[in-house]
Chain A
Amino acid sequence: MADRAQPVISPVSGRPGLGAAAMVAVLILGPLLAVFLRAEAGAGLVRADWAAIRFTVWQAVLSAVISVVLAVPVARALARRRFAGRSVLITLLGAPFILPVIVAVLGLLAVFGRNGWISQGLGLMGLPPVQVYGLHGVVLAHVFFNLPLATRLILQGWQDIPAEHFRLAAQLGAGSRVIWRLIERPMLARVVPGALAVIFAICLTSFAVALTLGGGPRATTIELAIYQAFTFDFDLGRAALLSVVQIALTLGAALIALRVASGDGLGAGLDRPVQRWDAAGRGARILDSTLIVAAGLFLLLPMLAIVAEGVPGLLRLPASVGRAALVSLGVALGSTAVMLLVALPMALAIAAGRGSVELAGLLGLAVSPLVIGTGLFLIVNPIADPFALALPVTAGVNAVMGLPFALRILVPAAREVLSVQGRLALSLNMRGLTFLRLVILPRMRPQIGFAAGLVAALSMGDLGVIALFAETDVATLPLQIYRLMGAYQMQAASGAGLLLLALSVGLFWVLDRGGRWHVAA
């Protein structure tokens, strides 16, 4: 993009962003280094590790491409249509992304499993059950998790196109095809590579989902190999090496995405509600409705299964689940605050042309929680009791892991604001905090709300590093769900899973709506 070639003259300094990026890099690479230093000379990567790397990359590529390819028409349909309950639907569609893995897998299999709803339906017709386990199962699950994220990121791109463009297009008599070529495709060229890179990175670190849906050790991912190296073989060097492979793959994908993403800014508008004259035809309406219903069914049926399984369990919830829910809320809000403090300056620095900051942001996705947890443990252990720091560390790590998503959401908006309002602000000699307060925060409120909601919800649902540090009486809700399952209390666990789903979606909704309050988007 043009502003990469020639640095944008920005009213805000890029330095706080660079500082934040450096901090993030230290927080992630420091623990990795600690693990390396502690490792004894090992055998390096073994043959099985290379097989794991190949499988991991292959399934991540498939998952990312399919998620994004499906997300484009769904996002377009959502962008073109206005209907009652649209914003609720958009929020609900995002739910799979923020669920703890174990809850989501059980929900997914309640629909697609051998004894799932679809198989039962097929059984009534005398047909064999669905064969869900295998590479296609892994991809199905990853698309289930990531289609919502891809849809939201791409939908955001659509919503960033000023309404005036469509108005002008309608005046000039441009049909769907011309609008696609002149307005929508250039927008996608900017948004899609980033979405692909983020989803590829998420799927790189998959473990339990890939193994369970993959049907066996064929579906061994790098993350499982790290787990094995660490707990089964106690080979720290190999665990750290594998972690480096994960980071290299993520950064490689990010560099490609940054290079490929192209196109100029979309220009400014007056924030009028978008109206699409070109999509008024019957064919377009039917197409869009079909897409929205199909995506809705795919994403919401497993949610419905979780609700159906969870309701009876709600009555059996022990008091500790309530306490854990409060702890989780605290951790989620804490990590959201930390994330915003780090992400905003970073987003502004990236928008001002410092692309390297984006790479630091992606590190959070690339590093295995097991390795970062172990490394932090090695660093903290000699100076303080790691258990006393369990919650702050969890909040901090969750913030860093949510950073890549936040940046994907914030950066395009920050670019827009700087390119549109930057020169005016400079001519008024408005800089630094004043510019931040008067221009950036109000202009970027929807994106800040969305990013905050996403990270808060992710943090709620993530088991994260707490499992490595947990003390008996401090538990987050995901950890408590695992404990309930470990104690055969599957029904109560389903109830707690439902509670977590409701809290995460609620938290997301409140923050996301907060950002869009009084904004007709």
Chain B
Amino acid sequence: MKYLTFAAGVFCATGLAAQTPELTVYTYDSFVSEWGPGPQIEKAFEAECGCDLKFVSAGDGASLLARLKLEGARSDADVVLGLDTNLMASAEDSGLFTPSEVDVEYDLPVAWESDTFVPYDWGYFAFIHNKGVTPPQDFLELAKSDMKILIQDPRSSTPGLGLLMWVKAAYGEDAAQVWADLADNIVTVTKGWSEAYGLFLDGEADMVLSYTTSPAYHIIAEDDDTKEAAAFDEGHYMQVEVAAKLAASDQPELAEQFLQFMVTDAFQSVIPTTNWMYPSVIPGDGLPEGFEGLVEPRKSLLLPPAEVQAARDEALNEWLTALSQ
């Protein structure tokens, strides 16, 4: 009798599994944490897909791509969510991804051309300072000042790499000199965003590299308007976060449905106050209160994905040389 119940249980369980297909989405850790967009998005998507949405977290964006390359075609992943413009070319070259049919008007400051990678949010890198501090107008003024900044290491952190590309996009050939001049302003370089931001809040430096949207967190979640982003005249480098379908997915329709869902209000309205980035398609009722006063850069900088790889290696060498003197 026991065996029968057991057998029935197994049978029912497999029967159930066959009815609710499972969509596996690989993403970075902060997306799935209870403060990130993950939990709300899982609920909303499951309500309309009749499927089981499973988020799997793998460190940060760069680790995500490394993980997928390790797994290759054997991967369980159907969708990857959380690569960015700096990783796109390398991701494209891996041949792991396949184009989607998503076709919408994005609210991005730049034209979007890729049909493999679907942008779901974006932001500008910026230095955050306390109210009352007069920020420099650009990198050159920063380098001349005795302001102290905290940055992240481009080899281990997304914003760190963003800053590298920012200086490269703004100054090209002169980037190495800019870094050499900035060297005495840099208090330290941290492994990730959290360490740098934590040190900034503890008063270790005048400014920290983060996003123009960071003050929105303090305004909305903490009712604190003392944090501001410094607007730089060179323009600000952008980060666009993207998702893509895996070619080896065993749920291609569901994966496509998820990417389509990503650009709807149900997904996009969750982004601003959980991921603290701009949604890639502004939802029907606009941006939440607290976003309206944020710095809007005069110019948006973004290297085309194809140029990133070469620029990245050159910029990293310049950075290492300038800061290792």
A→B interface (CB under 8 Å): 38, 48, 51, 102, 105-106, 109-110, 113-115, 133, 207-208, 211-218, 224, 227-228, 230-232, 234, 318, 320, 374, 377-378, 381-382, 387, 467-468, 470-472, 479, 482-490, 493
How many A-B Cβ pairs are below 8 Å?
142
Please, which residues of chain B bring their CB within 8 A of the CB of A488? Answer: 197, 214, 217-218, 221, 276
Interface membership of B191, Cβ < 8 A: yes
- Which residues 135-174 of B have a CB within 8 angstroms of A? 148, 153, 155-156
Q: Are B153 and A472 in contact (CB under 8 A)?
A: no
Question: A48-B320, A216-B188, A470-B57 are contacts. A485–B202 as well, Cβ < 8 Å?
Answer: no
CB < 8 Å: which of A234, A381, A485 contacts B198?
A485
CB < 8 Å: which of B66, B74, B190, B202 contacts A234?
B66
| Cα distance A280–B146 in the bound complex, in angstroms | 54
Question: Residue of A at shortest CB range from B203?
Answer: A115
| Cα distance A231–B64 in the bound complex, in angstroms | 9
Stretch at the interface among B33-41, B103-111, B283-291: B33-41
Minimal beta-carbon separation of A118 from chain B (angstroms) = 13
CB < 8 Å: which of A102, A234, A482, A487 contacts B35?
A487
Minimal beta-carbon separation of B17 from chain A (angstroms) = 14
- A212-B195, A232-B62 known, 4 other contacts, Cβ within 8 Å: A207-B191, A215-B189, A381-B70, A482-B29
Q: Are A110 and B153 in contact (CB under 8 A)?
A: no
Q: Are A106 and B186 in contact (CB under 8 A)?
A: no
Please, which residues of chain A bring their CB within 8 A of the CB of B122? Answer: none
Interface membership of B56, Cβ < 8 A: yes
8 A–B contact pairs at CB < 8 A?
A: A110-B202, A212-B190, A216-B324, A231-B63, A381-B70, A487-B30, A489-B35, A490-B201
Interface membership of B295, Cβ < 8 A: no
Interface membership of B102, Cβ < 8 A: no
Q: Are A483 and B33 in contact (CB under 8 A)?
A: yes
Q: Are B195 and A483 in contact (CB under 8 A)?
A: no
- Which residues 25-62 of B have a CB within 8 angstroms of A? 29-30, 32-36, 38, 55-59, 62
Q: Are B324 and A217 in contact (CB under 8 A)?
A: yes
| Cα distance A105–B71 in the bound complex, in angstroms | 34
Minimal beta-carbon separation of A86 from chain B (angstroms) = 33
Question: Residue of B at shortest CB range from A38?
Answer: B70
Q: Are B204 and A109 in contact (CB under 8 A)?
A: yes
Minimal beta-carbon separation of B268 from chain A (angstroms) = 19
| Cα distance A374–B320 in the bound complex, in angstroms | 27
Q: Are B198 and A106 in contact (CB under 8 A)?
A: yes
CB < 8 Å: which of A211, A214, A479, A482 contacts B194?
A482
| Cα distance A337–B190 in the bound complex, in angstroms | 35
Interface membership of B187, Cβ < 8 A: yes
Interface membership of B193, Cβ < 8 A: yes
Q: Are A490 and B197 in contact (CB under 8 A)?
A: yes
Please, which residues of chain B bring their CB within 8 A of the CB of A215? Answer: 186-189
| Cα distance A344–B268 in the bound complex, in angstroms | 56
Interface membership of B315, Cβ < 8 A: no
| Cα distance A471–B202 in the bound complex, in angstroms | 31
Q: Are B320 and A113 in contact (CB under 8 A)?
A: no
Minimal beta-carbon separation of B29 from chain A (angstroms) = 6
| Cα distance A488–B70 in the bound complex, in angstroms | 31
| Cα distance A470–B29 in the bound complex, in angstroms | 9
| Cα distance A378–B70 in the bound complex, in angstroms | 8
| Cα distance A211–B189 in the bound complex, in angstroms | 7
Q: Are A486 and B33 in contact (CB under 8 A)?
A: yes
Q: Considering residues A51, A216, A489, which has the most beta carbons from chain B within 10 angstroms of its beta carbon?
A: A216
Minimal beta-carbon separation of B40 from chain A (angstroms) = 13
Q: Are B189 and A320 in contact (CB under 8 A)?
A: no
Please, which residues of chain A bring their CB within 8 A of the CB of B56? Answer: 387, 471-472
- Which residues 172-211 of B have a CB within 8 angstroms of A? 183, 186-195, 197-199, 201-205
- B-side interface size class: 35 or more
| Cα distance A489–B222 in the bound complex, in angstroms | 10
Interface membership of B270, Cβ < 8 A: no
Q: Are A133 and B62 in contact (CB under 8 A)?
A: no
Question: Residue of B at shortest CB range from A467?
Answer: B59
Question: Residue of A at shortest CB range from B191?
Answer: A208
| Cα distance A381–B221 in the bound complex, in angstroms | 40
Question: Residue of A at shortest CB range from B71?
Answer: A381
Q: Considering residues A212, A213, A374, A377, which has the most beta carbons from chain B within 10 angstroms of its beta carbon?
A: A212
Please, which residues of chain A bring their CB within 8 A of the CB of B195? Answer: 102, 105, 208, 212, 485
Q: Are B32 and A472 in contact (CB under 8 A)?
A: yes
Please, which residues of chain B bring their CB within 8 A of the CB of A113? Answer: 199, 202, 204
Please, which residues of chain A bring their CB within 8 A of the CB of B217? Answer: 488
Please, which residues of chain A bring their CB within 8 A of the CB of B192? Answer: 208
Q: Are B324 and A115 in contact (CB under 8 A)?
A: no
Q: Are B155 and A471 in contact (CB under 8 A)?
A: no
Q: Are B204 and A115 in contact (CB under 8 A)?
A: yes
Question: Residue of B at shortest CB range from A378?
Answer: B70
| Cα distance A446–B70 in the bound complex, in angstroms | 45
| Cα distance A207–B205 in the bound complex, in angstroms | 22
| Cα distance A483–B192 in the bound complex, in angstroms | 12
Question: A217-B324, A231-B156, A234-B69 are contacts. A320–B34 as well, Cβ < 8 Å?
Answer: yes
CB < 8 Å: which of B34, B36, B155 contacts A228?
B155
Minimal beta-carbon separation of B46 from chain A (angstroms) = 14
Please, which residues of chain A bring their CB within 8 A of the CB of B183? Answer: 216
Minimal beta-carbon separation of B207 from chain A (angstroms) = 13
Interface membership of B247, Cβ < 8 A: no
Please, which residues of chain A bring their CB within 8 A of the CB of B70? Answer: 38, 374, 377-378, 381
Question: A216-B323, A218-B324, A381-B74 are contacts. A468–B59 as well, Cβ < 8 Å?
Answer: yes
Interface membership of B258, Cβ < 8 A: no
Question: Residue of B at shortest CB range from A239?
Answer: B66
Interface membership of B319, Cβ < 8 A: yes
| Cα distance A259–B214 in the bound complex, in angstroms | 56
Q: Are A485 and B194 in contact (CB under 8 A)?
A: yes
CB < 8 Å: which of A207, A320, A487, A493 contacts B36?
A487
| Cα distance A69–B317 in the bound complex, in angstroms | 38
| Cα distance A318–B39 in the bound complex, in angstroms | 15
Question: Residue of B at shortest CB range from A214?
Answer: B188
| Cα distance A329–B58 in the bound complex, in angstroms | 23
Please, which residues of chain B bring their CB within 8 A of the CB of A105? Answer: 195
Among all A-B residue pairs, the 8 with the closest Cβ atoms? A115-B203, A487-B35, A485-B194, A486-B30, A483-B33, A228-B155, A231-B62, A208-B191
Please, which residues of chain A bring their CB within 8 A of the CB of B202? Answer: 106, 109-110, 113, 115
Q: Are B194 and A486 in contact (CB under 8 A)?
A: yes
Question: A48-B320, A483-B33 are contacts. A211–B153 as well, Cβ < 8 Å?
Answer: yes
Q: Are A483 and B35 in contact (CB under 8 A)?
A: yes
Question: Residue of B at shortest CB range from A207?
Answer: B191
Please, which residues of chain A bring their CB within 8 A of the CB of B190? Answer: 208, 211-212
| Cα distance A113–B74 in the bound complex, in angstroms | 47
| Cα distance A224–B156 in the bound complex, in angstroms | 8
